[in-house]
Amino acid sequence: MDVNLEQLRGFVEVAQLGNFTRAAEQLHLAQPSLSRQISSLEQDLGAELFHRARVGSTLTVAGESLLPLARRMLADAESVRRELAELAGLERGRVRLGATPTLCISLVTEVLSAFHTAHPAIELHLSEQGSRRLLDELAGGELDLALITTSNAASTDRFTVSPLLVEELVVISASNAPRITTGDTIALGEVASLPQIVFSSTYDLRSATDAAFHAAGLTPETVIEGAEMDAVLRFVERGLGVAIVPAMVLIDRPGLRSVRLSEPTLTRTISVARTADVTPTTAVAVMQQTIGATATSLAARSGATMRLADPPRE
């Protein structure tokens, strides 16, 4: 059997697009050339990989079995290529980092600033998605590292997940408006009676706060629903309402004031994940070290609202 990387790239592209013509365009190939590549791959494997039809092409059972293997082989080949290029001095490397929207405006900003200052020649790519989507991209070889806020990957052997920080969720209001409480903390019941800016349903934060209110038998007063993080912060700064957000997003936000929730507090765990069976390149390893150092610095600066996470148990 003589399977090559070009065949696998063509197979993955057709599988993703469901169309030979569009896949050929993406690969900058003539459509007949791509068809010959796939036909040759099928002959080498002894199985048809696609159901071909005028409206498009769908994977056969054999094709579905091959797809995750092909993605992993291509990711491994790219990892080797980048590592050898770094060692040969042809380039300094590339890091593909994924992070959730709330982390992109806080931790990631600090990480990329520190990393780029120290290693300006390394090419950086950022994917801003929810935690579940980031894990899908990581599994598909599209990312090197992912900063996630869920523990979905901890129960599988596909990922290496390292907890970084445990962060409290706090209640924010406009700094130029009257304080929402005279105490050092505020109860969830008090928060429910305040006009709130609520995140989009795609946010893990939305699920966490909805669950907390539901468990307490509370129905919050909502004035704006479905906003993204940057919009939520701007709306609160303008005095339209309050919001429950991670403490980290208050960095460099003088227009916002925060107060901690009284017991029980709401927290989230921030972790860095990578694919377990792919050895990180030099650039990726340095990026992971930068993430860890930045997390330690943030925890030291944040006081009681953030702490370093306990290492996972063996």
- CATH number at 236 reads 3.40.190.290
Average pLDDT of each block of 10 consecutive residues along the chain (314 residues)?
81 93 91 91 90 90 92 82 58 84 88 85 89 90 90 64 91 94 92 93 85 93 90 94 90 88 88 89 86 85 77 56
In terms of Cβ atoms closer than 10 Å to its own Cβ (0-12, 13-18, 19+), residue 205 is: buried
Pick from 60, 83, 106: which residue ends a domain? Answer: 83
Instruction: Say if residue 215 is in the same domain as residue 119.
Output: yes
**What pLDDT is recorded for position 152?**
45
Instruction: Say if residue 167 is in the same domain as residue 310.
Output: yes
Instruction: Say if residue 140 is in the same domain as residue 40.
Output: no
Instruction: Say if residue 273 is in the same domain as residue 128.
Output: yes
Q: Which domain holds residue 16?
A: 5-83
d(CA 37, CA 199): 47
Is residue 88 assigned to a domain?
no
Other C-beta atoms within 10 Å of 285: how many? 15
d(CA 267, CA 7): 47
What is the CATH number for 44? 1.10.10.10
Say if CB 50 and CB 58 are below 8 A apart. yes
pTM equals 0.66
d(CA 144, CA 123): 13
**What pLDDT is recorded for position 178?**
92
Beta bridge partners of 269: 166
